[in-house]
Amino acid sequence: MNKRDTILKVALKEFSRNDYENASVNKIIKDANTSKGNFYHYFENKEELYITLLKEAWRKKAEFMYIKNEHDIFALLHKQVLAGIKFSKENPEYYQLSRRFAQEKNTNIYNRALAEITDECKNQGLNAITETKYDKSTISNEFPNEFVDNFISVVLNNINELIDENDDIAKIDEKLLLVIKVLKNGFEQQI
C-alpha cells in the first residue's frame, strides 16, 4: 500500500469517528506514520482529504449498487437500495463516514463536498438512480418526470430514518418493501 492509500485508510477511521471540524490532520499523520510534508504532498489541506475520501466512498458504493438490465423502476429501487444497505453493513467505516457527512448538512464543507461528488458522479456516469433508463409506463402520466425523480430522491435520501441501526438485512428488506409498495401504490386503500 502506498503512502497516499495509507493516509486515506487512516483518514477513513478518523472521519468515521469524528465530524469534519473535530477530525485531526495531526492524528491522521501520526497514525499513518508519515510526515506533514508527505501528507501535504498528496493533499492540499484537510478539506481536500475529506472530499477525496467522500468521493472514494461514493464511487465504491455506486459500483456496489450498480444493477444491470433492470427496467422496472420499483424492482430497480428495491435492488439498489438493498445493495446500498448491504454495502453499508459490509463497510461500517464508510457507513459511519456517510452518516457523519449527512450531519454536516447546511455547512460550507457539506455544500462544497456535495457539489464535487455530484460533478464527479455526472462525469463518471454514476448518476442518481432516477437517471437510470427504466420503464416509466408503470408511473401515472399525471406526475411529471422531474417530480417523480425528485420525490424518489427525497424518499431514498431519508430511508435511514425508517431503519433501525440494529435491524438485520431481512428486517431492512421487509421495511424497504413497504417503502417500495407505498411508492408504487400510495397509502390509499385499494378497492
The residue extents of the domains of the chain are 51-185
Look at residue 65 and give its three-state secondary structure.
helix
pLDDT in tens, 61-96: 888 888 887 878 888 888 888 898 889 889 999 989
Tens digit of each residue's pLDDT (9 = 90 or more) over 48-62: 999 999 999 988 988
Between CA 70 and CA 155 the distance in angstroms is 20
